[in-house]
Structure 1
Amino acid sequence: MNNHVASTLLKTFVATVGVISVTGQAANAGVLRNGTTINTFMECINDGIALVVGSSPAQNGWYYATDSSNDGSGGSVYEIYGMGIKETESSIMVALRANMPLTGNDTGGPADGNIGWGDMFFNFSGLNFMDAMNQGQMFGVRFAGTNDSRVSQVGLYSGVTATSVTAENSGYGSIDGYNSSMGSNASLGDLARDTNYFDRTRSLNAIASGTFITGLNFLTTTQLTTAGFDLNRFAGSQTIAFSIDKSSLPGASVPEPSAILGLTAIGASIFASKLGKRRAIGS
């Protein structure tokens, strides 16, 4: 067998294994599909942000959403500047840049003397917020352990329903109320202030109920920069970041290593078979 034939067969083998490998990993690559929407508001809805995957190209694997720098009602501590999200082989990484600490802002008014972050909602369904929630397809994350969430543990939840905690936090009763107060400054990151994604007559900003899936792994700024997050992209005195095990999220089924090895073996078998036939013809 000459070198040209051997080279051709080797390329066939590599291409076969490559196709098999891509096929085997396809399910693992589909959690953050275009249109996936992630959002969070303050407990008072004095500011909020939404990120829509695919609204802008990823950079170093990170999707970013930028919020207005002057739409934090009630003072600068309520200002949110931006959000980033990245999918890795085993997790989803989320980062927020804002002036609000993870533990919230001590202030008068609320019974607990504190106004902080609401919960975060993950919508992979392509539906609007209310439809996804009503059809049991909404995921939620309680990431601030001092907030007024109705679920007890910090972590990821499935099948969540949402509620408002603005009444006990001296906040707005609706997104439209916030928009009216802030005027043209009002911004929701990747979503327009008059978006129909939310029911703007309501102020749903906390998890009411859901099924606990897993806890969170909070990340340092060093871990973020190592993962490619651009810390200089947004202003803000606070960086809040965490990762979530994505194994229970839609489209996150990962093939077993043995399955991938088996598929690779099939590719090798195809190569050996073709090579044997070539040798038989050339003998």
Structure 2
Amino acid sequence: MNTRVASTLVKTLVATVGIISVTGQAANAGVLRNGTTINTFMECINDGIGLVVGSSPAQNGWYYATDSSNDGSGGSAYEIYGMGIKETESSIMVALRANMPLVGTAYSGAADRNIGWGDMFFNFSGLNFMDAMNQGQLFGVRFAGTNDSGVSQVGLYSGVTAKSVTAENSGYASINAYNSSMGSNASLGDLARDTNYFDRTRSLNEIASGTFLSGINFLNNTQLTAAGFNLSKFAGSETIAFSIDKSSLPGASIPEPSAVLGLAAIGASVFASKLGKRRAIGS
């Protein structure tokens, strides 16, 4: 077999391996596409924040949303300052900077004498919040185990429906009521105070129901810094951060090892077949 024939066969094998690589990457495509919207509110809707991927350029892979520093109704304990989200090969990382601890804060006017975080909602559909929920395309994460969520486990859920827990937490009956109380100070991060993304006549802030997909992994400041998160970007006494396995999210299916091995076997077969034909011709 001459050098030219060998070179051709090597190129064939490389091209086949390249197809396998591209196939693997395509199957593991990113889920944080422009327009993906993530939001969370306090249980009383005394503050909330939304992040829209693509609203501003990513920094070290992190998309950030900045919330007003004076729109925490009821005092500084209810203030949210900012939020960040980043996608890696295998996970989605989320970080909040606020004054509200993960376990909430004591308040005698709440049914359980505690006001804390609502749940976090992920909308990859491009629809508004209500349409995504009604079409079963809304995801949610219960990250605060002490809140009044309708699901029992801390973790990621699909097909979620949302509910309001503001009545139990001496809170606002609607986003409009919050806006009216806070006036021009009202802010929802990347979302305008008068956004049509939400039904502003309601106060949906926690998961009512959903299908459990996976747990979450809480992240400390050292892990966040290593992942490129800018801890000095926002004020706030509390950093609440976690990661979720993105294999459960839309557009993030990872090829099975057997499928990759099958493609490799096909590539090897093609290579062997061509090699056999070259030898037969040359014999």
The 8 Å contact of residues 93 and 242 in structure 1, kept in 2 or not, is answered as yes
* SS of 1:103 mapped into structure 2: coil
Where structure 2 has 5 or more consecutive residues not aligned to the other structure, the ranges are none
* SS of 1:63 mapped into structure 2: strand
Give the corresponding residue for 1:237: 237
Pairing 1:58–2:33 present: no
The alpha-carbon deviation at position 257 of structure 1 amounts to 2.3
Give the corresponding residue for 1:215: 215
The verdict on how the C-alpha distance between 1:281 and 1:242 changes in structure 2, with shifts beyond 3 A counting, is: same
Amino acid at match of 1:165: V
Amino acid at match of 1:161: T
Instruction: Give me the whole-angstrom Cα distance separating, in 2, the residues matched to 1:133 and 1:10.
Output: 51
Alignment of 1:204-283 (within 5 A): 204-267=204-267
The 8 Å contact of residues 21 and 264 in structure 1, kept in 2 or not, is answered as no
TM-score, reference length from structure 1: 0.89
Instruction: Give me the whole-angstrom Cα distance separating, in 2, the residues matched to 1:8 and 1:69.
Output: 64
* SS of 2:127 mapped into structure 1: coil
Instruction: Give me the whole-angstrom Cα distance separating, in 2, the residues matched to 1:59 and 1:271.
Output: 44
The verdict on how the C-alpha distance between 1:195 and 1:282 changes in structure 2, with shifts beyond 3 A counting, is: farther
The alpha-carbon deviation at position 258 of structure 1 amounts to 3.1
Give the corresponding residue for 1:75: 75
The alpha-carbon deviation at position 46 of structure 1 amounts to 0.9
Amino acid at match of 1:227: A
What fraction of aligned residue pairs are identical, expressed as a percent? Answer: 88
Encode CA deviations 1:106-128: one digit per residue, 9 max, x unaligned: 12211222111011111111111
Aligned positions, number: 283
Alignment of 1:68-147 (within 5 A): 68-147=68-147
Instruction: Give me the whole-angstrom Cα distance separating, in 2, the residues matched to 1:266 and 1:204.
Output: 51
The 8 Å contact of residues 40 and 50 in structure 2, kept in 1 or not, is answered as yes
Q: CA RMSD in A?
A: 2.4
Instruction: Give me the whole-angstrom Cα distance separating, in 2, the residues matched to 1:201 and 1:193.
Output: 13
Give the corresponding residue for 1:29: 29
Instruction: Give me the whole-angstrom Cα distance separating, in 2, the residues matched to 1:168 and 1:37.
Output: 27
Encode CA deviations 1:154-197: one digit per residue, 9 max, x unaligned: 11111111111111111111111111122222111111111111
Encode CA deviations 1:87-137: one digit per residue, 9 max, x unaligned: 223222111111110011112211222111011111111111001111111
Encode CA deviations 1:12-57: one digit per residue, 9 max, x unaligned: 6545533431222212123222221111000111111111122222
The verdict on how the C-alpha distance between 1:190 and 1:14 changes in structure 2, with shifts beyond 3 A counting, is: farther
Amino acid at match of 2:103: T
Alignment of 1:7-46 (within 5 A): 13-46=13-46
The 8 Å contact of residues 175 and 200 in structure 2, kept in 1 or not, is answered as yes
The verdict on how the C-alpha distance between 1:190 and 1:13 changes in structure 2, with shifts beyond 3 A counting, is: farther
